[in-house]
Each structure stands twice: as C-alpha cells, then as structure tokens.
Amino acid sequence: MSMALKEIKNRIKAANNIRQITKAMKLIASIKLKKIQKTFFPFKTYLSSIKEILNLLLRNHDFLIMMNSLEYFKERNADKTIVVIISSDKGLCGAYNTNLFNFFEKKYNKNKVKLITVGKKAYFYFSKRNYTILGNFEKIPDVPTFEFCRKINEFVISAYKDNKDANSVEVVYTKFINSIRYQPDVEKVLPLLNLKSDDKEKIEKTVDHFLFEPSLEVIGNYIIELYVDSLIYKLLVEAKLSEFSARFSAMNTATDNAEKLIKDLKLLFFKQRQESITKELLEISAGVEALK
C-alpha cells in the first residue's frame, strides 16, 4: 500500500474515533437536557407563585412602609453595576460562551462594572482582560442545587451591601427559548423596583384587613429573601439548560461533519486504490510486451 493510501486510511480511522466521541457526548447532552428540563419548567411555576404572594404583600400599607426601609428596595445614586455572569465550566458547546461574552461587552462599560463570575470560562475570559472580579464560582452541578445557588445568593447580597458605589445587581445569562433557540439576556435582580406596582386598580384593592402570623415583618423578609434566592436559582438553571442545548447542537453538527468526512475519505481511498491497481496492471502489460 502506498504512503498516500496509508495516510487516507489513518485519517478515516481518526475521523471515525472523533465521530464515536461526539456521538457519545451528544447522547450524554441529550440525557442531561431532559433531566434539567424536569427541574426548570416546574420551578418557573413555583417562582411565579412566590411573585404573586409578594405582589399581594405589596398591597398592604404597613408592608409598603416597612419595604422602604429595606436595602432590597432602596434606589442608589451610584454609577457602577454588579454583574453576575453565568457561563459554562467546559467547552465543546459551540458559540455558547462567545455569544454571551460579546453580548456583555456590547452592553457594559468595563470601568462601570464589578463582576461575579459563575463558571470557569467566564473567570478565565474576564480575568485576562483585567476586569474587577469580586468573586468566582466554579464546578456548577449539571442540575444546579439550591445549596450551590445559596452560596452565590449570599455572596451577591453581601457584595451589594458592601459596594455602595454600585446601584444595582444584574445577571447576564443565556435565556432558554426552546431546544434549538437560546440567546444571551440580562435580568435585574436588585433593587426590587420592578415589583412596585403602578396599577391604581391593584393599589386600591388593599389587603390591610389581613392578619399575618407570626408577623408581617417576619413573613415579608422571608418572602423577599426567598424571591431573590429563587430568581437567581431560576436564571442559573435556565443558563445550564441553554448550555446543554448548545452542547447537544454542537455535538450533533460535529457528528454529522465527521460522518460526511469519513464518506468523502472512503471515496477518495477507493478512487486512489483503483488508480494504483490500474497503474500496476499497465506496468505489467508493458513489461510483458517488452519481453516479446
């Protein structure tokens, strides 16, 4: 066998090995995608229920008075933003992280942000570009747990209280639309100004006659903290869902490309082998003729 045929055969073998790897990773991503969907969609409903309870409390005058004294609802006259950016820990997920970082850099001024990175890729990218990084969280579980998220929540709230030069906390993540559509987005977490209703009809329907046990203050603080925790958890799970969707698409494309390459290499191999055989037959025929 000539060197050219050996080289093609080795390339076919290498492409076949790559196809087996990408096919396995595609299957794993598919399984994890289905698993995390079972967490994400019910949790969206749960978060909506918490928001409904909080909106109910906002129709109580005593709660509104108490709310104005809480750090969660106070507006600040500052020029910086604390941004929590959620990336992946690993690669091989197409343009998932690249699109996220491009979205971030178009939206924010480097000198006006302080970062909390979630995922190795985000930390590696922004640390190399000398951004101010307040904290970093890595090794995100495939299905994020509330315990893991609570560590992030506690750090976020602490950073917001300590950094008086920051006027808000925003989360940059990849929003899940469907299994083939996901796009970078931003969600404002603190202060909770978006919960204040301007709807006169709702404001007029007060719940001042409600009795709260053990007390309005205890219930109010608990619901607010639970809402903030749940909101960040929902964004973390949604980002992870988008990551696995991106990884599934990337591995599916890679597998298809490997199969196409193998097919093309096999055609080239058979063509060159046929040419080699034909050449050898011609040389034998020419030798026979020369001996006559």
Beta carbons of 208 and 217 less than 8 angstroms apart: no
Fold of 29-249: Pyruvate Kinase; Chain: A, domain 1 (3.40.1380)
Domain segments of the chain: what residues? 3-27+251-287, 29-249
Q: What is the pLDDT of residue 164?
A: 85
In the sheet with 166-178, reading across from the earlier edge strand, the strands are 133-137, 113-118, 80-86, 166-178, 181-190
Q: Taking 50 as the threshold, does the pLDDT of residue 220 lie above it?
A: yes
Q: Taking 70 as the threshold, does the pLDDT of residue 291 lie above it?
A: no
For residue 152, what is the enclosing H or E element? helix 146-162
Of 230, 234, 201, which Cα lies nearest the Cα of 54?
Answer: 230
High-pLDDT (> 70) share of the chain, %: 88
Q: Tens of pLDDT along 111-150?
A: 899 999 999 999 999 999 989 999 999 999 989 988 899 9
Lowest mean pLDDT among 6-20, 34-48, 126-140, 272-286: 272-286
69 against 157, higher pLDDT: 157
Confidence of residue 292 (pLDDT cuts 50, 70, 90): low
Q: What is the pLDDT of residue 198?
A: 47
What one-character DSSP code corresponds to residue 94?
A: T
Taking the C-alpha atoms of residue 292 and residue 288, their distance in angstroms, rounded to an integer, is 7
- Rounded to an integer, the average pLDDT of 263-269 is 89
High-pLDDT (> 90) share of the chain, %: 45
Q: Which long-range contacts (CB under 8 A, 24 or more apart) does 119-122 make?
A: 119/86, 119/87, 119/88, 119/89, 120/87, 120/88, 120/89, 120/90, 121/87, 121/88, 121/89, 121/90, 121/91, 121/97, 122/85, 122/86, 122/87, 122/97
Q: What is the pLDDT of residue 194?
A: 61
- Rounded to an integer, the average pLDDT of 32-60 is 86
Confidence of residue 222 (pLDDT cuts 50, 70, 90): confident
pTM of the full structure: 0.84
Confidence of residue 288 (pLDDT cuts 50, 70, 90): low
Q: What is the pLDDT of residue 270?
A: 86
Confidence of residue 208 (pLDDT cuts 50, 70, 90): low
Q: What is the pLDDT of residue 3?
A: 52
- Rounded to an integer, the average pLDDT of 202-214 is 64
Q: Taking 70 as the threshold, does the pLDDT of residue 199 lie above it?
A: no
Q: Taking 60 as the threshold, does the pLDDT of residue 36 lie above it?
A: yes
Thinking of the domain 3-27+251-287, which architecture would CATH place it in? Orthogonal Bundle (1.10)
Q: What is the pLDDT of residue 89?
A: 93
Lowest mean pLDDT among 15-24, 189-198, 203-212, 274-283: 203-212
Q: What is the pLDDT of residue 115?
A: 95
Q: What is the pLDDT of residue 59?
A: 77
- Rounded to an integer, the average pLDDT of 23-38 is 92
Q: What is the pLDDT of residue 248?
A: 93
SS3 of residue 156 by DSSP: helix
Q: Taking 60 as the threshold, does the pLDDT of residue 196 lie above it?
A: no
